[in-house]
Amino acid sequence: DKLFSGFSKTRDNLAVIDELLLYWNLSDTDRVLDELEEALLVADFGPKITIKIVESLRDDIYAGNLKSGSEIKDALKKCVLDLVTKKGNKTELQLGFRKPAVIIIVGVNGGGKTTSLGKLAHRLKKEGAKVLMAAGDTFRAAASDQLEIWAERTGCEIVVAEKEKAKASSVLSQAVKRGKEGGFDVVLCDTSGRLHTNYSLMEELIACKKAVSKVVPGTPNEILLVLDGTTGLNMLPQAREFNEVVGITGLILTKLDGSARGGCVVSVVDELGIPVKFVGVGEGVEDLQPFDAETFVDAIVI
Ligand code: GDP
């Protein structure tokens, strides 16, 4: 399965532990937990979560609650599962009843925004939705060409800027109008990803939000932040800033197929309290998987 193979690098990294646990006995405990700590840090679980996991296992082992390597492994899995299933976090898209639903995709350049939008369009179409794309990255000339390729690939209609240097908010507003008139179920909006330190991008995103809600009240239904999984914990400050300014409803973590740092999924959920809705595990149309905590845990800890 795609998700399982996508996480192979993270799993390989954690496999050290598997071997150690196979021959575990009580006198090995500290050495094994040191190795586990190291492996979790390398996989980007972050220091806070790593300590939480290791100390809770240590307590349970010394209290006599965990008596074998396989019991320790199950406890480790349960720990990770509890950390990624935050209460109240909805991992499914919340699209409401009013048509069209609007999803705005945000994130810095190169993270995988346009690709994820294309993959999401494919997924929604397969579920029977009529999907419209909006090329809201009016800053980078090549961006709308790239999205047009995805529109063709997935068989979706697309709204692009009519003139050069058009405002992103007016392209999105136009797209949502088209979505309303054309009986579309979902409008997927791309946005610019120039450096997040550039304040005008944040202003632009706020304007985009306002513009779509003017056309269909209650939208955008989702604002999904795309984060590059290979950057691991470095993605956190960026994610915080986007969240503070625009209010993120869900995350898409991309490139997890190329990363040994899959543990960042856990630290991101813990730090931000925002649900991961999808993970990107490749460049093809099918390579966007809905995030399911149990499958995730099974994919990273064998
Ligand atoms: P944007 O600038 O945020 O719109 O980023 P793009 O969508 O253009 O993606 C940047 C690069 O990352 C492209 O070469 C994509 O094919 C690649 N990419 C995006 N998502 C994934 C993923 O999940 N896995 C892998 N391996 N590559 C990805």
Q: Residue 96: which region, alpha, beta or left (left: phi > 0; alpha: psi -120 to 50)?
A: left
| 228 C-beta closer than 6 A to ligand 1 | no
Q: Probe ligand 1: pick from 7, 106, 115, 138, max atoms within 8 Å of CB?
A: 115
How do residues 199-240 score in pLDDT, each as one tens digit? Answer: 688 899 999 999 999 999 999 999 999 999 999 888 899 899
Exposed/middle/buried for residue 232 (C-beta within 10 Å: 0-12, 13-18, 19+): buried
| 6 C-beta closer than 6 A to ligand 1 | no
CA of 6 to the centre of ligand 1 (A): 14
How do residues 76-101 score in pLDDT, each as one tens digit? Answer: 999 999 998 876 678 899 999 899 99
Contacts of 159 (CB under 8 A, 6+ apart): 132, 133, 134, 135, 171, 174, 175, 178
Query: CA-CA distance, 20 to 40, in Å (whole number)?
Result: 14
Whether residue 212 contacts residue 219, with contact meaning beta carbons closer than 8 Å, is answered with: yes
My answer on whether omega of the bond before 275 falls inside 30° of 0, hence cis, is no
Q: Probe ligand 1: pick from 109, 147, 153, 254, max atoms within 8 Å of CB?
A: 254
| 120 C-beta closer than 6 A to ligand 1 | no
Write down the pLDDT at residue 87: 67
Write down the pLDDT at residue 97: 87
User: Ligand 1, closest atom to CA 111?
Assistant: 3
User: Ligand 1, closest atom to CA 143?
Assistant: 4
Query: CA-CA distance, 192 to 109, in Å (whole number)?
Result: 8
Q: Going by CA atoms, what residue is nearest to atom 20 of ligand 1? A: 112
Write down the pLDDT at residue 132: 98
Query: CA-CA distance, 219 to 126, in Å (whole number)?
Result: 23
Contacts of 211 (CB under 8 A, 6+ apart): 169, 170, 172, 173, 176
CA of 160 to the centre of ligand 1 (A): 21
Write down the pLDDT at residue 291: 92
CA of 115 to the centre of ligand 1 (A): 5
The pLDDT mean for the chain works out to 92
Write down the pLDDT at residue 252: 96
Phi, psi of 132, deg, nearest 5: -115, 135
Whether residue 291 contacts residue 279, with contact meaning beta carbons closer than 8 Å, is answered with: yes
| 111 C-beta closer than 6 A to ligand 1 | yes
Q: Which residues of the chain have pLDDT under 70?
A: 87-88, 195-199
pTM: 0.93
| 295 C-beta closer than 6 A to ligand 1 | no
CA of 226 to the centre of ligand 1 (A): 10
